[in-house]
Amino acid sequence: MREKFQHLMVTTLLVLFLSSPAAAAGYYIGIQGGAGFVPDATGRDSGGSVNFTYDAGYDGSIMLGYNLGEKHPNIGRGRLELEFNTASNDINGAEFVEGKVGVDGSAKRTSIMVNTIGEYRTQSGMIIYALLGLGWADISLDNVSILGAPFVDDSNSQLAYQAGLGIGWNLSEHFIFDIGYRYYGTTDPEFTKQDGTILDYEYASHRVLAGFRVQF
Amino acid sequence: MGLRTILLSSMLFLLSGCWTDDPTQHNTFIPLTSIEVRATYQSMADKTVNQYTAIGDFSGSFTRDITGEVSWVIENNTVAEVSNAAGSEGLVTALSPGETSITANYEDLSGSGSVVVTDAVLTGIEIMPQDAELQVGITQQFEAAGTFSDNSVQDITMLANWESSDMNVAAIDNAGLATTLASGSTTITGAWQNIESGTLLTVTDDTLNTITITPAEATIAQGTSQQFKAEGSYSDGTVMDMTDMVDWQSSDNGIGIVYSDGLAEGIAPGEADISASFDVGGDTVSATALLTVTDTVLQSIIVTPENSTIQVGQNQQYTATGTFSDGSEQDLTRIATWLSTDDTVGIISNSSFSRGLFISTGPGTTFIEAFFNGIGDETLLTVVEQ
């Protein structure tokens, strides 16, 4: 999966960087909000594996970045940004061999990412971009209980990565509206369960975001 | 070109992370509320063995075999002993005639059953299958059914001493599992308590062409089971039952699991492919059947034949047919628990190879009962003198 990820992003960035028309350069700040959809996650311990299912949850980011514009033609056209994001999804079920049962609790994420964005501006002014990010994430399973029995309440820090596509419009010279999709993943976190044993977990999210950027 | 490549790559990338494997962990969060102890035989002859099983009911949500998780205790250790060793949990060995009780303990819960050891002695052994004709490279499980002086029949496969008269043609281990090695003939002998019985095993060099699974499609309710059978067609035109020889696999263990004897159990609603494969000299021959598991609920059971009469010494095979909430019917004979209310008239088998078979022992009347998931039915059986 990581090889696919790398191939996808190298291809994307090359295509976009080599074909972008003119864009203004400068620093920007931005904010994005939307929904996060966490795919079914498998938790493994010495007793075997259990699949956990999630509700859709909130996902939000603030960004501080720099638009390369045309000042660095040897690099290409795009942006480099620092993103702080947070998300939460309620866990709604745990699937065992015998079937699915209800779960209370949530998975929360706090993360800081360094993103590189390649942009392509159409003749109509629409911005099409692809994003590749790498960073750090703190993942927590908060007050997770299965059928009322406490299961896990712990957090773990892992390497994080994301890739995404989006489109944007210049609402004014310095104000840009942006919507996009990002696939976000981490290396597999480990949590200590209530009984003291270790739960090998996995975390990923499909992020659907909309927001604004103000460029200086 | 660029955008199309990006979008296609993105879709493939996302799809690659959208599913999970089936869970392998049992649900231990739903409390165990009761334990039912079942025996393969209601009574056992002295020095024989009887497998007891503990079925746990988890708050009415599901039942699960917890034989290996409970602690087994026999009340009177001079009558029988029970194993708690890994791999043989619940196996009772008769030590002397008498009656006692057996208990399966799990934390603060327990379930009990009776252990009845008779003084019946072995009068004959029947080896199965008889006069088998197999191809080279096949394994065949031979079974020994012991008939006792009270007309009871018990599986004594694990007790018997097994021999092959020609070890170059076929070898056989202490559990009765024979492996064919070269074409020719050999006699397979099973012996116990100074009684022996034999059968001819012929080994040919024909090759396996195809495997056929029956039924090709089966629909069962969640929590019930379906017996699949595999037949192999050989180059000489012969067709052989390979149910116990093939490797059974389910494509989705979360929907249906299949055991090594081809018995599939419905776990959750959905569809799963049940495959049977057999390796012949490095080449694999296989076949697939479709198992559909529904969420219908068992509403009633009918035991047939109803109100019948047989003579002492005769046996009668009973069938338990379940009717489900969607109106469908399913044969539950192999998974129902069978009971004869008067064991002086006869006993009914709960063993894997003869479940539902009533064996008469004396004149009188008895009710034949079948239960599954708390639902049952009974019918009257009259046994008359010959």
Give the list of residues 6+ apart from residue A195 with CB closer than 8 angstroms, or none. none
Q: Is there a contact between A41 and B20 if contact means CB atoms under 8 Å apart?
A: yes
In the CATH scheme, what is the code of domain B298-384?
Answer: 2.60.40.1080
Q: Is there a contact between B267 and A5 if contact means CB atoms under 8 Å apart?
A: no
Q: Which residues span the domain enclosing A15?
A: 2-107+117-156+167-215
Q: Is there a contact between A49 and B21 if contact means CB atoms under 8 Å apart?
A: yes
A64 pLDDT more than 80 = yes
Q: Is there a contact between B30 and A147 if contact means CB atoms under 8 Å apart?
A: yes
State the pLDDT at residue B19.
59
* A162 within domain boundaries: no
What's the CATH number where A194 sits? Answer: 2.40.160
Q: Is there a contact between A98 and B27 if contact means CB atoms under 8 Å apart?
A: yes
Q: Is there a contact between A96 and B23 if contact means CB atoms under 8 Å apart?
A: yes
| C-beta separation of A176 from A215 below 8 A | yes
Residues of chain A contacting B27 with CB distance shorter than 8 Å: 96-99, 101
Q: What is the mean pLDDT of chain A?
A: 87
> Residue A78: which region, alpha, beta or left (left: phi > 0; alpha: psi -120 to 50)?
left
A47 vs B13: which has the higher pLDDT: A47
Comparing C-alpha atoms, which of A47, A50, A7, A1 is closest to residue A187?
A1
b/e per residue B127-153 (b: at least 16 CB within 10 A): bbeeebbbbbbbebebbbbbbbebbbb
Question: What is the DSSP secondary structure assignment for residue B96, as one 8-state letter?
Answer: S
Is some CB atom of chain A closer than 8 A to the CB atom of B267? yes
* A112 within domain boundaries: no
B339 pLDDT more than 70 = yes
B255 vs B282: which has the higher pLDDT: B255
| C-beta separation of A214 from A174 below 8 A | yes
Comparing C-alpha atoms, which of B202, B209, B211, B139 is closest to residue B175?
B139
User: Would you state the CATH architecture of domain B34-118?
Assistant: Sandwich (2.60)
Residue of A nearest to B223 (CA): A98
Residues of chain B contacting A95 with CB distance shorter than 8 Å: 23, 254
Q: Which of B1, B5, B6, B28 best tests the A interface by mutation, with the highest count of A CBs <10 A?
A: B6
Which tokens sit at A92?
């709604």
* A177 within domain boundaries: yes
Q: What percent of chain B has pLDDT over 70?
A: 94
- Rounded to an integer, the average pLDDT of A155-160 is 96
Interchain CB contacts (distance < 8 Å): A and B: 99
Q: Is there a contact between B254 and A15 if contact means CB atoms under 8 Å apart?
A: no
Count other Cβ atoms within 10 Å, centred on residue B237: 8
ipTM over 0.95: no
Residues of chain B contacting A16 with CB distance shorter than 8 Å: 2
> Would you kindly state where each structural domain of chain B is located, as residue ranges?
34-118, 122-204, 208-294, 298-384
State the pLDDT at residue A1.
45
Give residues 30 to 49 of B whose Cβ lies within 8 Å of A. 30
Q: Which of A15, A41, A204 sits opposite B6 (nearest CB)?
A: A15
Cα–Cα distance list, A50 to B20, B23, B182 (Å): 10, 5, 47
- What confidence tier does B362 reach under pLDDT thresholds 50, 70, 90? confident
In the CATH scheme, what is the code of domain B122-204?
Answer: 2.60.40.10
Question: Does this chain's domain B122-204 share its CATH topology with B298-384?
Answer: yes
In the CATH scheme, what is the code of domain B208-294?
Answer: 2.60.40.1080
* A73 within domain boundaries: yes
State the pLDDT at residue B7.
53
* A161 within domain boundaries: no
Taking the C-alpha atoms of residue B318 and residue B336, their distance in angstroms, rounded to an integer, is 11
∠ CA B161-B165-B93, rounded to 5°: 5
Is some CB atom of chain A closer than 8 A to the CB atom of B15? no
| C-beta separation of B99 from B117 below 8 A | yes
Q: Which of B1, B5, B15, B27 best tests the A interface by mutation, with the highest count of A CBs <10 A?
A: B27
pLDDT tens for each residue of B181-223: 989 999 999 999 999 999 999 998 888 889 999 999 999 988 8
State how many domains chain A has. 1
